Structure 1
Amino acid sequence: MDLLTYIFFAFLFIHIFKHIFNILTQKNHPPSPFAVPIIGHLHLLKPPLHKTLTSLSHHHGPVLHLKLGLRNALVLSSPSAIEEFFNTNDIVFANRPHALAGLHLGYNYTSLPWTPYGHHWRTLKRVTTINIFSSHSLSLSSRIRNEEIKHLVERLNVGFDESRAFKKLDLKSVFLELMFNVMMRFSTGKRFFEVGMDGDEKKRLIDTLTKILVPNTKMGLGDFFPLLTWFKFLKLDQKLIDLHKKRDDFLQSLINKHRNHDPSISTNDTTLMGTLLSLQKSEPEYYTEDILKGIISMMFTAGTDTTALTMEWAMSLLLNHPEVMAKAREEIDSKLQRKNILEESDLANLPYLTCIVNEALRLYPPGPLLVPHASSAECTVGGYRVPKGTIVMGNAWAIHRDPRLWEDPTEFRPERFAAGGEGHLGHGGYKFVPFGVGRRGCPGAGMAVRVAGLGLGALIQGFEWERVGGELVDMSEGSGSPTMSKLRPLEAMYRPRSL
């Protein structure tokens, strides 16, 4: 027999042994579909995964147990389950699962998104909160976001004559370009996409940055069958190794340029890079190159594609509901009188615009399945036995569209998040969880909502929008095709420009 046959029988023996052991020691597991030997429920996981898991939860309940190869997993699809696991038992589930992505892209589990709960996590959380996500830090960095929004509006104004004929626009590329510029300026003081860069060059750069900084890193065979990673010839983690090399080289180049005072980036100590290098200078043993790169990587990975996707969904919804866009423009005009381009400080006076962002996040959360947690010890939650190391996923998409929680849940109704609306109290009731909850909830939620509101508001304020061809924008998930629209400057906001 060849080596692969020996491996197969070895795994079969291990699985049968564990199955018999589990039967003999089984306590009270959550409901579960029928599992196939060895692979468990992996054969049931069809894309889009959040919809498949929603269907399974409809049959088996809001706490669903799955066997993913040799790993235990729970899927939570109700606010009460989210609260009990991620709030009441927050510390037990404050870890991340061991996965090859955390090993390679998380710098051996030392970056904030991947590191286990403990002293190191608390230190990184404190550093990022103080320097990035606190109210004071967000106020200081608002200048960058305001300037990038103005830069975007001015760029979109280019090429129109006094007739202001409609032009086509790829929303996906526009929002990705905006977010990469925002994060790059915040981190290093310079943009990725400067004036004068042609369309093809921008497209190539967006494609490269997306592949390196925001790739699809779903769990794979090596995560579900960890023993397979011992057999190096299988190269189960080769793609992650290659990706890590490219990302690491890119991040290291940013650090080196700052140290060497390269004119292509700012060497101002007020940038995130300057702050991190100052910390490294004071505590070089702790703030290693990998720690710095992990923090910068987190900003790009978690803060670009997710917010760009939220704005794309929101604008698509507005294109399909022009009456909502008209109401948002009326609110902006009444508060700003068209004097200047919307700024972040104006958002507090634009509650309906915030409702639009929240409703887009409800219908199309950027992470339909919340970032997985893992149990640090065996425990009992809701009467169910949860083994140590169990992967726990919250199905935000299912909760956000549950008809028992939301009236007409598939309809786009921003008013539901207004004061007194059904969504207004949902923020504290765990039925609205686009950024997760608990200690491992997304620390950048405040920044994401600000950027999305600012970007949408400025585009509504300055431009008239239409659908391409008059047909409704395709709101199906997973198509991967760019969202095309048509725009022209509103007459009151139009100024002939050339960049």
Structure 2
Amino acid sequence: MKKTAKDIDIVIDLLLEEHKKKMTKSQVVDSNDQVITALLFRAKELKEDLHGFNTTDIVKGTCLAIFAAATDTTTVTLTWALSLLVNNPLILTKAQQELENRVGRNTKVEESDLKDLVYLQAIIKEAMRLYPAAPLLVPHESTEECIVGGYTIPKGTRLLVNIWKIQHDPQIWTDLFEFQPERFLTSKKEIDVKGQQFELLPFGSGRRMCLGMSFGLEAVQFILASIIHGLELQNMSNDHTDMTESPGLTNHKATPLELLVAPRLLPHLYAVCLARPLPPLHLQHPLVCLSSTTASLPQAI
């Protein structure tokens, strides 16, 4: 973990140095470099108002949060959710039926529709429970000596919370390794992901919980809804998609997700209207290919 942190720090340092070299006081922020350049300009303007904090550290931390935490965890969550759905076609069909009832096949999904998609929300909660994008929360430190579960925790101890273990605790969850979104519509209906119920903590809890929770949750809901509403999905073979997890700070799927997809909505709802129907597409990684395959992509995605 320490070596990975150093490697990431070096990469971001190089990225910032590259942008600093291109910056002049009269330079207009280019759209391709807008985020990093704007951060550097703003940090320079606020240098005297940062209460002693190092401006470089603030910019580096912000870049890491934007480029690593937001994109990586969102992609991981969507990959697991899609894998679970194609392995459970009855649940996928039920989710698509909810979309047809709430949205219809004559229009694409809008952000305003998300609040009505309660089964989709349950699917995402269950995917986050089974396969949390970050199995270990950000490190915490004990401010004083305490006893937890019979163990003495000295003051100043670095603490890592294992939410994967919490979310697979047999004392809390029944059929804990089964994909059952319905649990969040019945026995676990009151549980959300906002850090107030400690049984489910995909974004952490307290003052150090994920700052991008609202954005990340809405992004996952919107993208997943758009994909399953706009595309028919199935495995490449009759075998189930392999659900092996890989070791790391982020809980990536060990093997690529391979799917056959085909459009399921009216042609005018897609980014490109075609003169003939699309054949099924072979996607090595749907989250990457879907974002670059405009011929088969609903405009909402």
TM-score band by shorter chain is 0.7 to 0.9
1:488 and 2:262 matched: yes
Residues 122, 182 of structure 2: 8 Å contact kept? yes
Give the SS at the match of 1:300.
Answer: helix
Residues 258 and 266 of structure 1 are in contact (CA less than 8 Å); yes or no, is this contact kept in structure 2? Answer: no
What's the secondary structure of 1:250's corresponding residue? Answer: helix
Q: Distance in 1 between matches of 2:69 and 2:36?
A: 16
Secondary structure of the equivalent of 1:472?
A: coil
- The residue that corresponds to 1:245 in the other structure is 10
Provide closer, same or farther for how the CA distance between residues 244 and 395 of structure 1 changes in structure 2, counting only shifts above 3 A. Answer: closer
**Take 2:7 and 2:191, find their aligned partners in 1: how far apart are those partners?**
45
Greater C-alpha Rg: 1
What is the aligned length?
A: 260
1:422 is aligned to: 188
TM-aligned CA distance change 1:264 to 1:323, over 3 Å = same
8 Å Cα contact 1:401-1:409 kept in structure 2: yes
Alignment of 1:460-471 (within 5 A): 460-471=228-239
The 1:498/1:422 distance shift into structure 2, 3 A limit, reads closer
| Partner residue in 1 for 2:38 | 274
In structure 2, what is the Cα distance between the partners aligned to 1:340 and 1:320?
A: 27
Distance 2:6 2:159 in 1: 26
Shift of 1:345: 2.5
Change in Cα spacing, 1:490 to 1:262, as seen in structure 2 (3 Å) is same
CA contact (8 A) 1:319 1:467 kept: yes
Q: Cα offset for 1:406?
A: 1.4
CA deviation vs aligned residue, 1:363-415 (integer Å, no higher than 9, x gap): 00011222221113334456653212212222211221222211211111111
Map of 1:2-401 to 2, 5 A cutoff?
Answer: 218-219=1-2, 241=6, 243-254=8-19, 260-261=27-28, 263=30, 265=32, 267=34, 274=38, 277-278=41-42, 280-284=44-48, 286=50, 288-381=55-148, 384-401=151-168
What's the TM-score, normalizing by structure 2?
0.76
2:180 is the counterpart of 1:413: yes
Match of 1:77 in 2: none
SS of the equivalent of 2:159 reads strand
Alignment RMSD: 2.8
Give the structure with the larger helix fraction.
1
Gaps of 5+ in 1: 1-217, 220-236
Other-structure match for 1:453:
221
Residue 64 of structure 2 aligns with an amino acid whose one-letter code is: S
Shift of residue 464 of structure 1? 0.6
Change beyond 3 A, Cα 1:406–1:249? same
- Cα distance change, pair 351–491 in 1 and its aligned pair in 2 (3 A): closer
Contact 2:129 2:167 in 1 (8 A): yes
How far residue 256 of structure 1 moved from its aligned partner, in angstroms, is 5.8
How big is each residue's C-alpha offset from its partner over 1:4-44, in whole Å with a ceiling of 9 and x where there is no partner?
xxxxxxxxxxxxxxxxxxxxxxxxxxxxxxxxxxxxxxxxx
Residue by residue, what CA displacement relative to the aligned partner does 1:200-234 show, whole Å, maximum 9, x if unpaired? Answer: xxxxxxxxxxxxxxxxxx24xxxxxxxxxxxxxxx
Structure 2: distance between partners of 1:441 and 1:462: 33
Deviations 1:463-490 (A, max 9, x none): 1111011210001212632111110111
Residue identity in the other structure for 1:274:
A
* Unmatched segments (≥5 aa) in structure 2: 247-252, 275-293, 297-301
Q: Would you say the 8 A contact 2:191–2:200 is kept in 1?
A: no
1:423–1:432 contact (8 Å) kept in structure 2? no
1:438 alignment counterpart: 206
